[in-house]
């Protein structure tokens, strides 16, 4: 995973006081492969073409629990593709032998049949050559890192040594596989409509020490602690947004980089008298009861990190956290959705 994406999600996850009780998933990468398992133990492994080729990627997905099937999706690189070119038919080749055409899915994605999926996995974890043909140039799937990632995939789901393992198969009973974990449930709460406003200088001076004290340390919101000359009017504003009759949301720009910026958010009583409750210092926006994070891993935007926090009437609870996978020049906006944390959010009750 790109270091910029990892840093953004670490800020989102580890600095969020309201999310300390929520356990995120597990991620592991090695060479041209990576696996991300969310908090329900659903795992997704992405493999790529060699980095210098940038021709495509595959995604292996499996839910936790005994006898769960796998699915394998394929995408081709589009960053340099001719947008007027017709969608290519695609076929799977292993060791220069055709395994047949691949069924098309939505969004220019192809899905392997069960037989194709298992043949691909058996080949890529060993010394087999896996190719996808039909585009202007073949997509050769790298095997570098595949076995280590598939072993981690199985380890997280408790499948090592079972007949259904992707890596080390064995005769261990399938009912010993780790069951799925239920996703946390969040009941979203109604937020009142109201215009946000910039705090006055007197309000900021009174509140700033408490906002900074609520951080893990005083250096995690440099924009508030030591504001610089604003690039845009309003950059240095500390903003108040009504949440309900008791609570308000305070926000301030904490940091700015070459192509990302992070805002800090705190929940406070309406009178601005109590101790602020810190949520995150890496967010991008707030709207309608949801604080959101969207940070790109590099300037061209082929890899992203995202997260959201939902208002439940008392605090903002982390409701999602994910990346789009490695920065591999496959697709603008990212290649895949690889969740590390998922929840069930129940709609606002009126």
Instruction: Give the span between the Cα atoms of 333 and 257, in whole angstroms.
Output: 19
Whether residues 147 and 41 fall in one domain: yes
Residues 98 and 57 in one domain: yes
Shared domain check, 172 and 190 = no
Using an 8 Å Cβ cutoff, are 277 and 259 in contact?
no
Is residue 19 assigned to a domain? no
**Alpha-carbon radius of gyration of the chain:** 23
- Whole-number pLDDT of residue 79: 82
Closest CA to 309 of 289, 324, 281, 338: 289
Predicted pLDDT of residue 20: 34
Question: How many angstroms separate the most distant Cα atoms in the chain?
Answer: 74
Same domain, 58 and 170: yes
Is residue 44 located within the same domain as residue 152? yes
At 87, list the tokens.
């969608």
Q: Residue length, the chain?
A: 350
Residues 96 and 218 in one domain: no
**Is 7 inside a domain boundary?**
no
Average pLDDT by stretches of 10, the chain with 350 residues: 50 40 82 98 98 96 98 92 65 98 91 98 96 95 98 98 97 97 98 94 96 88 86 78 97 95 97 97 97 97 98 98 98 97 93
Same structural domain for residues 153 and 203?
A: no
Residue with tokens 């800020």: 11
Asked whether residue 325 falls in the same domain as residue 194, the answer is: yes
- 121, 153, 176 - which closes a domain: 176
122 and 155 share one domain: yes
* Same-domain pairing of 160 and 291: no
Which of 176, 195, 221 is at the close of a domain?
176
Domain that holds residue 67: 25-176
Last residue of a domain, one of 144, 176, 208: 176
Stated pTM of the model: 0.91
Note the Cα 142 to chain centre separation in Å.
23
Query: Do 129 and 206 belong to one domain?
Result: no
Cα-based distances in Å from 151 to 135, 167, 169, 209 = 31, 5, 10, 48
235, 109: one domain: no
């Amino acid at each position: 995973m790109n270091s910029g994406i990892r840093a953004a999600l670490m800020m989102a996850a580890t600095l969020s006081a309201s999310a300390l009780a929520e356990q995120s998933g597990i991620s592991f990468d090695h060479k041209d492969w990576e696996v991300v398992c969310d908090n329900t133990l659903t795992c997704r492994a992405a493999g790529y073409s060699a980095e210098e080729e940038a021709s495509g990627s595959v995604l292996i997905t499996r839910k936790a629990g005994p006898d769960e099937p796998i699915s394998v999706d394929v995408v081709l690189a589009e960053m340099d593709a001719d947008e007027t070119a017709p969608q290519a038919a695609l076929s799977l080749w292993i060791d220069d032998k055709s395994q047949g055409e691949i069924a098309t899915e939505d969004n220019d994605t192809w899905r392997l049949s069960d037989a194709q999926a298992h043949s691909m996995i058996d080949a890529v974890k060993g010394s087999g050559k896996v190719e996808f043909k039909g585009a202007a140039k073949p997509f050769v799937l790298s095997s570098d890192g595949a076995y280590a990632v598939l072993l981690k995939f199985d380890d997280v789901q408790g499948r090592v040594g079972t007949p259904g393992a992707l890596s080390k198969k064995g005769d261990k009973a399938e009912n010993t596989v780790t069951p799925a974990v239920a996703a946390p449930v969040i009941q979203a709460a109604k937020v009142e409509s109201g215009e946000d406003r910039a705090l006055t200088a007197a309000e900021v001076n009174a509140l700033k020490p408490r906002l900074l004290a609520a951080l893990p340390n005083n250096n995690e919101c440099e924009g508030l602690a030591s504001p610089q000359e604003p690039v845009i009017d309003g950059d240095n504003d500390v903003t108040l947004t009504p949440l309900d009759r008791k609570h308000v949301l305070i926000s301030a720009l904490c940091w700015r980089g070459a192509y990302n910026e992070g805002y800090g958010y705190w929940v406070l009583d309406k009178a601005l008298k109590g101790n602020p409750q810190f949520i995150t210092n890496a967010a991008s926006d707030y709207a309608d009861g949801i604080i959101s994070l969207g940070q790109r891993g590099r300037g061209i935007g082929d890899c992203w990190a995202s997260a959201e926090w939902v208002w439940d009437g008392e605090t903002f609870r982390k409701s999602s956290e994910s990346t789009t996978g490695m920065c591999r020049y496959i697709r603008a906006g990212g290649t895949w959705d690889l969740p590390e944390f998922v929840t069930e959010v129940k709609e606002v009750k009126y």
